[in-house]
Structure formats: C-alpha cells, structure tokens
Structure 1
Amino acid sequence: MDLSRRIGVNESADGVRTTPLNELHRRLGGRMVAFAGYDMPVQFEGIMAEHRHTREAAGLFDVSHMGQVSLSGPDADKALEALIPSNVQELKPGRQRYSMLLNDQGGIIDDFMVTRRGEDLLLVLNAACKEGDVAHMRERLPAGVRLETLDDRALLALQGPEAEAALQAIVPGVETLSFMQATGFMWEGVDLWISRSGYTGEDGFEISVPAGRVEELAERLLADERVNPIGLGARDSLRLEAGLCLYGHDIDETTSPVEAGLQWAMQKRRREQGGFPGADRILKELADGPARLRVGLKPEGRAPVREGAEIADADGNVIGRVTSGGFGPTAGHPVAMGYVAAGFARPGGAVAAVQRGRALPMTVTVLPFVTRNYKR
C-alpha cells in the first residue's frame, strides 16, 4: 500500500496539509479552503442545505485534521488532572468527558474530549492547537506517562437524527451507545473506535478509523441516501445554533472556564480541591462571579451580526464584544454569542451591536438557540 494511504496527514508542495479524504472531497465537488493549515471543504451543496440536512437526516464530516493522542502509563489520569479542571481519575472505561487545558492564569489553551479506553486515555484535540497542546503536555507530564500521537488514524463525524440508523446498518451494535459513551467495533476487518458524541447539537457519532481505510468507510456511509457530505460552513452554523464554543473565537487563553459558562465541566471534587492551573482565579470566580460572561444574543431583523462587533448598552457604553455570529437556519433568525459585563448578562436584556457605525438592537438570550438532541 502507498505510504500516503497509510498515514493520516499529507503535505502539499505549498505546505498546506491534507487529510486522507482530500481526493474524495474534490470528487464530490467540495469547495476547498485553507483552515488551520489544512485544505478542507467549506461546502458541497451549500451551507444552508447542508445545515438543514444534518438537522433532518445525517451529515458526514471529515474531522481528520483534529489531533488524536493517547496517554498511558502509571497514573496517567492523575497526571492529566494536574493540567485540567475535570475529574479523570473517576472516569469509567468507555466513558468520555469534555475538558480544557489551562494555563497558569486559568485561561483556556484548548478544549478537547477525553475518553478512558481501558489501557489508555484518548484525547481529541483541535486542529489549530494540537501541536501546541502536545508540546505543552510533553513538557509537564511526568516521565512515566507516555504520550503518543495517533497520526495513522483518521476521524469522521456522523451527525443527525438518522445517524444511528445509517451507522447501525454497517456497524451493528452502535445503537447501544448512549451520549458520551465509546467503545471499539470491527467493520470489514478494520478496528474502529466509536463514541456517541459530536459538535452539532444533534445525536451522532465520532469514528476513529485507520487512515488507509477511511475513504472506503466514508464512501460506504455516503452510499446511504440518508447521509450527505457536510463542510466546515455548516459545521460552524450548527455548533453556533447549539451554543457550543469555537476555540480561538469564543474561548482562548484569556478566557476562564467560568467566564465561558463551562464550569459544568468541573466536577465536584475538582471544585472543592483545586489542584489545576489557575485554580485561585477560577475558584474565586466560582465563589464571587466573574467580571464578564458568555451569553447568547438574538439580533433584531434578518441581518447577521459578525464576530468582533462591539456590544453597547442603552447609553452607548461598550460592555462587551461578539465572538461568533451568523444566521441560524433552524432557528430562523440571526444568532450570535459574545461576552458582556456580568451585570448585563441577564436573559431578556436589551443591548446593541455596533457594526459599521450603526447600532443594531439585540436581546440577551439563553443558550442554546435550538434544542440539543443527544441520546441520553
């Protein structure tokens, strides 16, 4: 087998990396763009149509640009806990958890998923952050903990209300998984690691597969009339409607988990004992409240409000900034998220986005904008 079919990432002459599905994306008519250093499809049929198809049937996403990392060795879970605010030591085999790498100021270096597989912990990292994340962990993990980057694995996300039926048709047994549960399966002699999770607000799965077989699996799934290929554009609008953070936009190294409304990812023992980077700041914010908070924003009218727009109060005073914005096809109106001073975070409050010199009225609203349809 050709080497390029065995490894998960290739690099073109101009330095832009590709996933093992790059040729398939092009055959399917994907409009390709540079994203996090990768050549990725932003859309196939169109963002609006792909968004709606995922909400109504099943969408297949190539997320092979994300980092897959294994941590193993004595007390690997305890060592990881020293870098994050979540409880990993009590995480049961086959269970998954959302967490964040923190800097010493309590800011978020990256958000990621961690799963206990039995002998190791599997981490899935954001594409733009994965090299930095690995360097950060290697520098801080004790010598007995082994960190391995799984560069020979690709990653698919199958999302939507028909995802279970489509995947079960070729991988029997996946229907037994509940939200944030994962286990190994075999398909056509190939070892798959499948979790019931995703980042669209819909039911669905993430499938880790050997890179050399991912195109075959993707084509098999796409042969099902319920499954369409989906690009980055709809992935973004889906996660925004679901009120989910995009790293580098809604969270970054200046943002604490409490400001971002992610304190639910900090289990009771970690809140009580601390012992993670930036614990003094974070525990103080839990007790006293942060100075700013991430909120949902519903602009009036049909015009979307874009990232970077300042948020002002009724007197024109700047109280925050929009971090994500666009049109919500399922919600049927523009949707946005941003940070406002804590005193303005109450749902129903009237604020305005300052965009091109105009003040566009918005209402602070509860997240998410659409109901999340996870299988509990």
Structure 2
Amino acid sequence: MPHSRLLSIARKEFLHIIRDPRTLMIIFIMPVIQLVMFGYALNMEIQRVDLAVVDYDRTLHSRRLVEQFQGSKFFHVFGYEGPLSEAEKLFLTRKARVILAIPADFGKTWQRSVSAPVQILVDASDPNAATIIRNYCNQVIQLFNQRYGGQIPLPFEVRSAIWFNPDMKSTYFFVPGILALLLVMISALLTSITISREKELGTMEQILVSPVRPYEIILGKVIPYVFLAFMDGALILLIGIFLFEVPFIGSLPLLALLTTLYIITALSLGLMISTIARTQQVAMMIAVIATLLPTVMLSGFIFPIASMPELLQWLSYIIPAKYYLVIVRGIMLKGNTISQLLNQVFFLGAMSLVLLTVSWRKFSVNLEK
C-alpha cells in the first residue's frame, strides 16, 4: 500500500513535468546552451596576442628572435618605428598587449657568447592574462636559446612530464566543472518549485487530508527528478566527450553511481527550499542564489580553494559541488577508483541525509499546522 501511494505521487509529479514546456526546456534545452556557451567562453588559452617589436639592433640575430615570435601561434607580431617611450602608448589604445624591445648591441653581445638582455613589457591591467602572456614569452625565448644558443653542457638534465592533460587544454578542467554546475542548478531549481507549486495551485489542502505520509510525498516528488536529472547529466557528459573532446579514462558505472548521489544531494537542497518558500518565483530565486554563486566561487570550479581566505575555505565545506568536482575530474581524467574518493562520497552522503531530514521535518510541521 505505501508503495502504491509513493508511485502515484511520483506518477503525478512526472505528468506535471511533461505537461509543462517550461520545465522541459529547463531540463533539456537550457543545459545544452549553457554547456556550449561556458565550454567555449571559459578558456584560459590566449592566442594571437598583439606584440609590437621595437628593434634597435636590426641584425641577423634580432631578426631571428622576431621570427621566433612570429612562428608562435600565440602572437600577432608587428613592427613599430619609433622610440620605446612612444611604443608604450600602444597599451593605452589597446593596439598591443606586449612590447618586445631589442637593444642596439644585442647582436654584438650575442656574438661574444655573453648574455644578451632584451626587454619585454606586458600590459598587466588583466593580471591573469598578463601571467599567461609572460609565460608564452618565456617559452618562445627558451626555444630561441635552444635553437641558436649553442650546446652548453649542463651538470644535470631535467626531463619533465605532464600527466592527465599533456596538451594543457583548459576544456579538460572546465567541462567537468560545468557538469557539476549545471546538475546542481537544474536539480535544485526544479525541485524547489514542487511544494511551492502545490501551495500556489491550492492543491496542498488535498494532500493534507489524504492518507499520505510526509516521507512518501517527499520521495514521490524527488524520484522523477532523479531520473530526469540523470538523463540531463548523461546528455551533458556526451556533449563534453564528443564536442569538446574531453577524455574519459575511468569507470562509467562508478561515475553514474556517484553522479546519482550528487543529484540526490542537489534535489534535497531544492526540496528544502521548496518547503520554506511560499511561491514558485521565490523558490526559484532562492535556488539560483544558493547554487550558482557558491558553486562558481567556492567549489574550485574556477578559483583554487587553497588560495582563498580561510573563512571562505571553511564555507566551501558546505558546497556539494566541491566534492563532486573532485569525483568527476578524478574519474574522467585520472581514472580514480572508489577507494580514492571515499572522503568525497562520505560528505555528499552526509549532506543528502541532513537535507532530506530537514525537508521531512519541515514538511511534517507544515502538515500539522
């Protein structure tokens, strides 16, 4: 008998979903659009940086250095005829982001096998971009030294290897993060309007007089969204793998299992919001505020948690996406197993239990009023 009541509520909620085109758009259309937008917009790779060359030397050696920059995909090189003080004004007009100044004695100094300095000026109004551009410049100069600097014996040789992302593609980092962001947003947003919708439509009174227990109502309303959110996650994952070419080297069943746990956590959060809010509009606003900014700012999606102030690091412990990001990146890129993710599984499970318990208690109080 309890199972039949539970399934009836789940069926009723599922019919509400498929009859509402707005909900279907939120579930299937909005995540695809956001994934494509985020996937292409969140890119730490900078290409075709405008670089102005002020060459006071004009020798074979200076031309080789300029050609080394021209051969890089990261720079768009153009010459500047004039003093360096005038070239610096290119920063103000945004015609250049880097200036390469080659002194007049560069070639002669190079021929004496002495260190030949050059000056590189970088527009640091965007400090993150400036750091990346400076690294690009260092790479080009290092390649130039290896090519033309001669064979200088070193006491030791360093051979470095980059694991899990050898090409340093930012999409490998951001696409799993977008999956975590969209799942928590969509899941919490959808369930946040379930109870509040009953209040607005006036059908809550019918539920109050029915022989249905609070936990049956809560589970019956959550079950359809677990199924739909899982389909949503599978769709996002397929787009990430085939469109953005993010590798998947771990266990798909393990990711599916832990994604379900993450979805239940997000749905529990939305359900708790739904028991508090009186209208669908208020519930949706709270859901967006509670998921979007915390996930973007405090989960490690974009900014490293270790570099945050201590207070924000403590706040990050209550963000579900913080734990799921470790899971999805670990399984997709590193091939992590369940034994290496027990800490994240424990926290997600505990958060789900707490949120479901709070929702059940809050809803029980509403039924008794």
* TM superposition score normalised by structure 2: 0.24
Quick check: which one's helix share is greater?
A: 2
Quick check: which one's strand share is greater?
A: 1
Structure number with greater Rg is 2
* TM superposition score normalised by structure 1: 0.24
